[in-house]
Amino acid sequence: MVAVWETELGRLAEHRGRALVGYAYVLCGNQREAEDLVQDALVKVFSRLRGMSGSEAARSGVHPLDGGAVTAESYVRKTILTLYLDGYRRRRRWSDVRHLVATDDHARGPESGATARADVAAALGTLPPRERACVVLRYFDDLTVPQIAETLGLAQGTVKRYLADATSTLRALLHTSSAATTDRRAG
């Protein structure tokens, strides 16, 4: 024995399915999303009825089939609208917080740690010896400018100049190498 809701679902999907998809398409502007909305709405409306007998559904007041196909279709249309709005709100809420969890598209992968160290070592190798010494003492040994000046027997101003020149050179070299790596991955 076929339940009333199964017959109505089949009739509604067969005769009004295209109209329902058209309605959903007007809302979302995407054919696949429209089809998904209709399917989700049909499942939502008719799954409530699956476990109920006709008299139970009538008593509960949730029976969309009391008025026939027109009422069932209006329930499905209302559900399509509700599902679309819920999805819209969810996407909008996500767009408000997405920046909090977003990652850099050009971030290196976990395997690139060794590559980054190799890039830095190669870039350091291009620096003149005093600039290289200043950079290593400052950024690897974590010494202050006065400590570097004392260690190398240089004036503090000279250390600052070496650090500035070396930083500029390293920035240019490492930026170029990371851009080349990104280009190789993209190509």
Dist CA 68 CA 73 (whole Å): 9
Whether the model clears a pTM of 0.85, i.e. scores above it, the answer is: no
Residue 54: the pLDDT is: 53
Give average pLDDT by consecutive 10-residue segment, the chain, 187 residues.
Answer: 69 85 86 91 80 54 51 85 83 66 56 74 87 88 91 94 94 73 50
Structure token pair of residue 1? 């024995």
Q: Which helix (H) or strand (E) holds 64?
A: none
With 0-12 / 13-18 / 19 or more C-beta atoms within 10 angstroms meaning exposed / middle / buried, residue 121 is: exposed
Residue 162: the pLDDT is: 95
Residue 144: the pLDDT is: 93
Residue 61: the pLDDT is: 52
Dist CA 147 CA 156 (whole Å): 9
Domain ranges across the chain: 4-101, 112-186
Residue 35: the pLDDT is: 92
Q: Of 23, 21, 13, 15, nearest to 45 (Cα)?
A: 13
Structure token pair of residue 94? 């996500």
Task: Tell which CATH architecture fits domain 112-186.
Answer: Orthogonal Bundle (1.10)
Residue 98: the pLDDT is: 58
Number of H helices, E strands in the chain: 8, 0
Dist CA 75 CA 125 (whole Å): 73
